[in-house]
Structure formats: C-alpha cells, structure tokens
Structure 1
Amino acid sequence: MKKISIMIPCYNEEENIKPITEAVVEMMVHELPQYDYELLFIDNCSQDRTREYIRELCSENPKVKAIFNVTNFGQFNSPFYGMCQTSGDCTVVLCCDFQDPVELIPRFVEEWENGYRIVSGIKTSSKENRLVYWIRSAYYKVIRNMSEVEMIEHFTGFGLYDASFIKLLRELKDPLPFLRGIVAEYGFKRKDIEYEQPRRRAGKTKNNFYTLYDAAMLSITSYTKVGLRIATFLGFVSSIICFVIAIVYLVLKLLHWNEMVMGMAPIAIGVFLIGSIQLFFIGLLGEYILNINKRVMNRPLVVEEERINFEE
C-alpha cells in the first residue's frame, strides 16, 4: 500500500489546527482509502495553544505526527525541513489556514499516479486583497524576467512532491532553501493545477512587509544576477554622462567666463543623485553578501525541541 505524507507547517494557528486535521483525515479515509497516510505538523514555536491542540491530536491518532522547533526559524526553513522528515511515497504540502484547498489533494494524487513527479497548485485568482494580489503578480513577473531559471508564477509551494524529489531536497543541504526556485530549477516532470485561493478560515495572516521583503530578496539573491549587472552598467553609464557634462561645463565656462554663473545647484544635484544610486546598490550588494554569509556558516535549518509519534 502506497503512503501519502501530508505536511502542514504552522505558527499560531490554534483556531485552524483541529479543523484542518479533521478535513485531511476525512478526505484520506473517504476519498483515498486505498492509501496509507501520515499527517505531519511542524510548529515554528507558536505562542498560543497550537502545540497543546497538536498534542491532543497526536494522542488520538498515531498517524498524526509533530515536530516542535525550539524557536521560530522563518517561513522557508521550517516547511523545507518538515518536507525532509516525511516518509511517504509522496508528500503533500499545504497551509494550515485553508487557503490551500484540501479537496485538491485527490486531484494531485491522480496526476501523480499518471507519472508526474511534482503536481503544483497555481493560483489563478484570489479572494485576498486585490492590491496585494496585483503586487504579487507584478513581483512574479519581474522575478521571472530577471531569473536565469524559469520561475513559476503564483506558486506558493502548495502541491504534491514525489519521494524522489524529497530525496533530492535532503541531499541539497541548502541553509537558505527557496522551494519555489528549487522546483523550477531542477526540472522534474511537473503538472500545474489551477485554483482560486480562498480567504483564511480563521486567525491573522503571518505575512507582513518584512516577510514579503525577505522572500523577494531571497529569490533575487539566490536566482538572479540582474541586480549586480544593473549596478555595473548603470555605474558605467553614469560615469560617462558625468564625464561628458564635466567637459561641456568646462568648455562653456572657458568660453563665457563672466556670463556663466551656475552656482552650487548642479554640483549638489549630481552629488545627491550619484550618492543615492550608490546607496541603493550598496544595499543590494549587502543582500548578496548576507546570502553568501549564511550559506558559508551553514547553520542547521531548524533545531528540534520535541518529536511526537515518530518511530525511533
């Protein structure tokens, strides 16, 4: 009997833990009874009653497993690590807040049985804020055009992954894993399933400006060279323009020494313009260096505090 692993990362999801467990178990029992399953929660150090509820679920059903992290290791490390701890013939990753429809799992499994190694859920529309969705769309298009790897638009990680892909993830030993980029980069046979993203069932979203910025910078520094190339070309073009302006200014001043009084305004504008450009690209260069620094240190993805229902 084949085994399906369902991996759900969570952080402060006390209102959704029990309903998502009931939905997944009911779906597996009634719609996919020919498969064995495990349901793995990886908790990123929740501060509410999430862990208490997970313990209850684990005591009631031995197929429900849990990993508790000692602290919050971020939105990328924890889910990636959880995927690497699954033991099924395939692994389904979905969010705890019901924005990833549980009812799509049988469709994923069907396509997996048809030979696809990865079945990814692609948002074609969303019931979230329209402005946020538009910003996300613009971001995906920019990254797709900048990256050497063909990035997948509106793919959040929701999908099914064959055990062969999970094996690859374990072998990567990447201290800064970006799942969306890895899926696009390694080219496993993939099937895209479109869906409309519903609203959160309960609770507040954990995404904010910082987490979205962190995701954007990770994708840019891990999969693009465009930022540094733009800095190089813009610096070269700016230096040529400044040199030409300086020559023109010198010639005009020599020809019209007494009449031409330009003052300090052109110099101040030029200094602030060049300074702002330099500051921007120094910050971008710092993001690349930070990315390199974290990879060189090679710290563990997460540190576990406790495991429940895992065989020794």
Structure 2
Amino acid sequence: MQALFEWDFNERKNDRVEDSIFRIVQEFGPGLDELDFIQELVLGVIKYQDKLDDIIEKAAPDWPIHQIAVVDRNVLRIGLFELLFGDKKEVPARVAINESIELAKTFGGENSGRFVNGVLGTIYKELGEPGKDEMPAKKKRPKDVTYEEMPIEKLGGAVVYRQTDAGFELALVHDVFGYWTLSKGHIEANENEKECTAREIKEETNLDIEVEDELGKNEYIASHPEKGKMRKQVIYFLAKCVGGELRLQAEKGGLDNVDWFTLPEIPDLRMYDDVLPFVTKAINLLKLKKS
C-alpha cells in the first residue's frame, strides 16, 4: 500500500518502484516471506492502472479519479486488481473486498471504508465472478470519444446562505470522500436554470431557497457506466434560504451529511479546489450585503 502511495504521489514514476518495495519491506516488515506476492500485486496494479481506473470511474461516475483521495484510489486499485486478476482460490472475491475495506479504514479517512465498500460492491455486482483476464461480455464498453463528441450534462448548484444574529452562515453538503462541497442537481433540457436549481436544492437539503446572483460556471469530465465519458457543466448561484429545516433528504450521489457553517469556519473545511472560487465569490458578495 505504501509503495503505491509513493508511486502515485510522485506522479506515477515507474523507475524506482521495485526499490521502494524492497525498502518499505525492509523497514516495516523485515523477515517477511511474501515479497514476491507484494511485488506481483504492486507491479500488477501499475501495469493495469488505466484499466482499473476506467472501471472505478464507471462505478463512481460522479467522482473523477483525480478527485479521489490518494489512499482511497490505491486501495480501490488493489481490491479491483485482486477481483480481476487474483487467484480466486487463495483470495476469494469477498475476502478481497473485505481486506480493501480494512485497508481503507486503517489508512484512509473517516468515510474511506464505506466508500471503498460501495465502489467495490458495485463492481462486484456488475462483474459477478470475473474471469482472470477478461471483462464481462454482458455489457458493451462505451467507445472512446473526443472531447467535442462527449455528451453534456447540465447541472445547477448554489451557495446557500442564511443570516443569523451571529452573521451569515453557509449550507454545505459532505461527500463520502471527506469533502464539504456545494449542493447541485440535474437540469433537464429547456428548464429554467434558477427554478431547476431551487428544486434540486430542495430535494437534496430540504431547504427552500431564493436564487440571487450567478457565481459562474464549472466543467469537469466524469464517466458513466453506459454512456462513457461525459462533460458535466455546472452553473452556480448565490441563494438565500427562505424556509425549511436543513437535512439530507437521502444518502444519494455519494453524500452523507449536511450542515451550516459560519464564514470564519469555512477556511478550515476540506473542500475541492474547483469549488472554492465560487464559495469565495459568494462570501465576498455577502460581505458587500452586510456593509
């Protein structure tokens, strides 16, 4: 696990992987008689990294592989490698999944175990008992397409605020990767962006909102199990809470919590880099309202 972490953290340079494996084993497991197995596992994950990542993205389509924490994505790679290429007699599929969950709990964040369980469980259900070197034939793999050919999905999201005696507070949702982020949802064709955003926020957080300023747009590429790679375009708004009690309506889309935060608390939260600019702009607008 540590060898893969170092490899991934160091921009996936392969020239010193075997040296790293030997050094780590000597440091943390002197006398270990499973060096061959460890080398086979680590080098196998590296060899099939692209294939493993492609499957992981299809099982967690809302989360591009680069947004998954380094520990979590390498635990997933290990577990998936064993599911696809491991000796089923020595390591049955369910054992491989359970071992990955324990790795995630030990080395990952608070929600890593649950996340790894969900992703590998989804893959296991799709693959059944996968063959050693083959992918299931029951579903055709989406063909690779250029950026221009990728289907586009539009979403609307908001920085939702309320004003209390203590000042402004923002409502944020928490995902299974351990990040606080913004609530958002799908915009249907020909829908009004503001009305749709208000509806999606209500469905996800139970809050009634009044959409105000547009904060900007963001785009990222995600993978869908059937549609393949697609461009997700999100428009974000500043929105005022006008009713409703904040609560997560359903644990869907990889979310597990929701809460209010004062503006001074925001900088200490773990947030995605591509979300921070919209939160910062919203805070600046709120400061202008206050003045």
Shorter-chain TM-score: what band?
under 0.3
Q: Of Structure 1 and Structure 2, which has the larger fraction of its residues in strand?
A: 2
* Structure-2-length-normalised TM-score: 0.26
Which one scores higher on RCO, CA 8 angstroms, separation ≥ 6?
Answer: 1
Q: Give the structure with higher Rg (CA).
A: 1
* Structure-1-length-normalised TM-score: 0.24
